[in-house]
Structures are given as structure tokens and as C-alpha cells.
Amino acid sequence: MDSSIGATVRSHCVGTTAVVYASDYLNKLTGEKIERECRRQLDSGCRALVIDFGDTHLVNSIGISILLGIIDVAEKSGAQIVFSDVNNQTVELFDMLGLTRHVALAKDEQEALSNISQLDPTPTLH
């Protein structure tokens, strides 16, 4: 069942995996909403997170910081995390900043969900 936080964050669960949809511009406002939603899903027992960036055109610095925070939280919860449907420009940014060392990328949500069960828990950040 779909749920939404505020006007922009949509999410739904597939088994014990939560799929959270990022908005078109991942900044402070939307980033914090996504973070809250991810925490809520993990607190309610989800063991894996898929953050879908299909609608996301741009991620700014605060967005990066918040995504790192989500990765941290997932790591501490022992949950897997996958970013799906990330555009080329954002992949380049994630690569350059080192986020892709800590999170798996998938072509789309389906691929992310099918990969989740095969993945080990999120690589530990040091």
C-alpha cells in the first residue's frame, strides 16, 4: 500500500523491503522528508531500503549529506540499501563523491528488488 509523507515522498513495501521515491530535486526539504520516511520504515521492521531516483533531476550538497546519513542509519540497522533509476549525471556525482562505494545501484525498482535478496547487508562505512 502506498503511503506519503507531506506532499512529495511516496513509499511502499514489498515484503520487508521499503521502496521510497525521491522527488525531482533532492535538497534540504525533500531530503529530510526522505530521511524521516526511511527511518520510519526501518523502525517498523523493514530489512532493506530501495531509494528510487526515477523522478530526480538534481541532488545538491545537503541531499548528499542526508543520503550519507540514511546509509549510516541503514548500516546501523543491518539493513540493505539500493539506489535505483539514478540518472547519469547523478551517478557521476555519487561516483565522484564516493557514495557508490557504500551503496549498490540498480537500473530500476524491479532490478533493485530482485537484487536485494542476493545482496549482503550494506557495506560497512569506515
Partner 1 sequence: MVPSTQKLIHTFGALADLGQEVANTGDFSEMVRTSMHLLLGTLALRRGAVVECNAETAPECIAVWGLDEQRLGQFEIREEEEVELLELQWPAFLIDKTESFFVHRHHSMLAGEGIELIVPMIVRNKLTGLVLLGGKASGEEFSKEDFDTVSAMVRHIGVGIHTHRLIEQVARRAEENRRLYEDLRAIYRDTVRAFAAAIDIKDKYTQGHSERVGRYSEIIAREMGWGEDEVEGIQIAGYLHDVGKLVVDRNIINAPYHIDAKLSSELNRHPAAGYEILAPINHPYADIPLMAKYHHERLDGRGYPDGLTDKQIPLGAKIVALADSFDAMTTDRPYRRRRSFEDVVRDLRQSSGTQFDGKVVVAFARAILKELLAEKKDRRIMKMLGKGYLDGQQVPTLLQDLIAELDAEQANVVGVSAE
Cell matching residue 111: 532490478
Identity of the residue, 3 or 61, whose beta carbon is nearer to partner 1 in the bound complex: 61
Cβ proximity to partner 1, 32 vs 111, nearer residue: 32
Backbone φ and ψ for 17, nearest 5 degrees, come out as -105, 130
Binding-site member from 24, 43, 54, 61 for partner 1 (CB under 8 A): 61
Among 66, 70, 86, 113, binds partner 1 (CB under 8 A): 66
Using the rule CB under 8 A, is 57 a contact of partner 1? no
- Residue 14 within binding range of partner 1, rule CB under 8 A: no
Amino acid at 81: I
- Under DSSP, the state recorded for 100 is G
**What is the rounded distance in angstroms from the CA atom of residue 111 to the CA atom of residue 15?**
15
CA 3 vs. chain centroid, Å, equals: 16
User: Does 5 engage in binding with partner 1 (CB under 8 A)?
Assistant: no
- Residue 119's nearest CA partner among 85, 88, 86, 74 is 74
Q: Phi, psi (5° rounding) for residue 2?
A: -70, 140
| Contact residue for partner 1 among 15, 45, 54, 98 (CB under 8 A) | 98
Counting residues that bind partner 1 (by CB under 8 A) gives: 22
Under the rule (CB under 8 A), what is the footprint of partner 1?
28, 60-66, 68-69, 72, 89, 92-93, 96-99, 101-102, 125-126
